[in-house]
Structure formats: C-alpha cells, structure tokens
Chains A and B, each alone.
Chain A
Amino acid sequence: MSENRIKIVEKILSANERLANENRRRIDQVNAYSINLMASPGAGKTSFILATINGLQNDAVQIGVIEGDTAPVTIDSDKISAVGIPVVQINTGGECHLDALMVEGALDQLPLNAIDLFLVENVGNLICPAAFALGTHSNVLIASTPEGDDKPYKYPNIYRGLDVLIINKIDLLPYLNFDMDYFQQGVEMLNPGLITFPVSCKTGEGIENWLDWLKIKLPKN
C-alpha cells in the first residue's frame, strides 16, 4: 500500500460558485439586472425593497422578488405581493444564509422572461451571507444607524464584497450616538471608494439618489 499526498488547492465553496455562475447566466440570458440585498435583522430590507418598487412604478420596470427567510413566515413576502409584484419565498429551514442552489430553485418559479430586475432579500445576518455568492450582479448591504457605528469593524467580511452600501434610518441620527466619520472610516479601510447612499425609507430622503444609480444599471428596452 502506498501513501500519497495530492495537492488540490480548491476553494471550499467552489460548488456554490459554479451554481452562482449558472444563475448569472440565466439572468443575463433574459437581459435582466439582479441584486443581493443583505443586512442584519431589522435594518429595513423589506422597507427598502418596497421603496424601490414604489420609486420605479412609473418606469415600466418589471420587478421580481426572492425573499429568503429562516422560517415559513410570510410577513415579508405578503408585503411584496400586496403591491402586485411576483415574489417567491425561500424557507432556508434554519440556515443562516441563502446559497446559489436556493436561488436557482426560486428562479424556476418566477416568470424570468418578464422580469427586468431581480431583488433577492437575503437572510438577516452579517456573517454567513458574505461567504455565499448567489450569482447576482451586485451585492448591496443595508446598514441602519441604530445598529451602531462599529459594524464594519466587527463584520469586516460582508463590507469587503459590497458594490453598494445603503445607510438606512438616517432620520434617526439626531437621537443616536452614531459617529458617521468613524463608521465611514471602517468602510473605507475595507472597501475603498464604496458607492454609498444614506437614506431613510420612512421619510423617503435619499431614495432618489439610489434610484438614479439603479436606473443606469437596468436594461434598456
């Protein structure tokens, strides 16, 4: 019997990445844009999706939403269906993140050809979603001011993979000890020049700037 060492050097999550590439191919095929929305619980992911839907209602953009939840609770997806948008809920069965396989299953249930913009609401968590690519065109994190200004320092990985940062609940800044300079220094160390939109989903402040960025990314029909 001979003993051997075999050199491999393969990313542990390479299978997920292959599936993510396949998801991207399907979304590109229908000429749509897609966003992975991440945040901690309560940061305002669903409110942000609703504000985005509302802001695009005069732009003839067909939106499809994929809702990730750890339990079969349809509170979020009910809010999306209530405004007439196709939505698929993924119950992760306790898993702390969405992965590419779950998104593949959700894409099967949406009318792909009819959709210009896929919004994927990840599970509320700042750690695990950072490790699993879904195949979306951009990763967007919604940070909210009540969470505190130290989050980039505590959860560096999620900030590193971002394309856009939303700072939600800026209407609460007068009531909080949130040091914006300290927060943004942490972000700058991890992701220099990150596109950032301070917003309030409650008052609507700043949402227009986000929509302007998004509209440039949307396919031209």
Chain B
Amino acid sequence: MTPEQIFFFIFGAFTIAMALGVVLAKNPVYSAFSLILCFFGLSALYVMWGATFIAMIQILVYTGAIVVLFVFVVMLLDLGRGVSAHSHSWMTVLFSALGVWFFSVLLLRTFHHSPATINAGGFGVDQIKTISNLLFNEYLWPFEVLSLFLLALIIAIYALTRPEPSETTPNREGRGA
C-alpha cells in the first residue's frame, strides 16, 4: 500500500467511526462534537482528492456555523435531564436496518456499474479562479436564485422564532399531548 492509500484508509475509518458516534451517542452534545470530528475527517478526504477549496468551505461553514448552531440549540434547550430510555420496538430497528441495508446494496451496485472514465484533466492550482469563473458566468442564474432563497429564509426564521408578546410562561400546555 502506498502512503496515500494508508492515509485515505485512516481518514475514511475516522469519518465513519465519528458518524457512528453521531448515531449512537445518548447525549446530543456528544453527537454534535462527533459531527464536528466527522466533518474534519471529510475535509481531509476532500484534500486527498485535491479539492482544497471545498475542504476549506467544509470546515468554515459546516463546523464553524452549522454544528455551532446545533451546539447552541442543544445547550439552550437544557436536555440533560430528559434523556429517556429508547423505547422503540425491535420491529422498528430490525426493519429500519433491513431497509438501509437493501438501499446500501443498491447504491453499491449502481456505483460499481457506472463507467469509470478518468480524464485526469486536473484543475488543481488555480482552483478558486476556475470555480468562480464558472459560478459567475454559467451558474449565475442559480446563484441569484439562491440569494433570493436566503432572503426568504431570513424572513421565515424571524417569523418562526420571534417572541410572542402575550406569552409569559414557557410551557403553556404542559407535558402531555
């Protein structure tokens, strides 16, 4: 095995182990920190493919903004006391696992039958220049639509989370549904 393959294996195993930690951790704070480490492993994989710009974006946006938002909400909600026992039946777990397994096998067959043509064109050195040329010429219209989408998102989040003026107690209806 070349050193590149060894590093690839290490980073891939690290990413998958951290993803397992996200799924299996009982405390949401541990899940969030496993998610941070999983994104760092993914960023290392992007670097090994040569996509350095996306690796930087991954660390800046995902671990800098998204997971921090998760940690912020988890700590805001104070969920430590309400960790309940997982009470799903074994039927749910069994059939979920079966469905996921079938889907994974389907994906695996699909990717192995895809044509593996390697052009090796390479746009390594001036990657940001290539990406921004493409983004602001050919993909300009989706980019502008995305900016409108973000504006609508800001308005929607304000409408969702603004404090109600008449609301005084946090639990209006109690715990039962």
Do A and B interact?
no
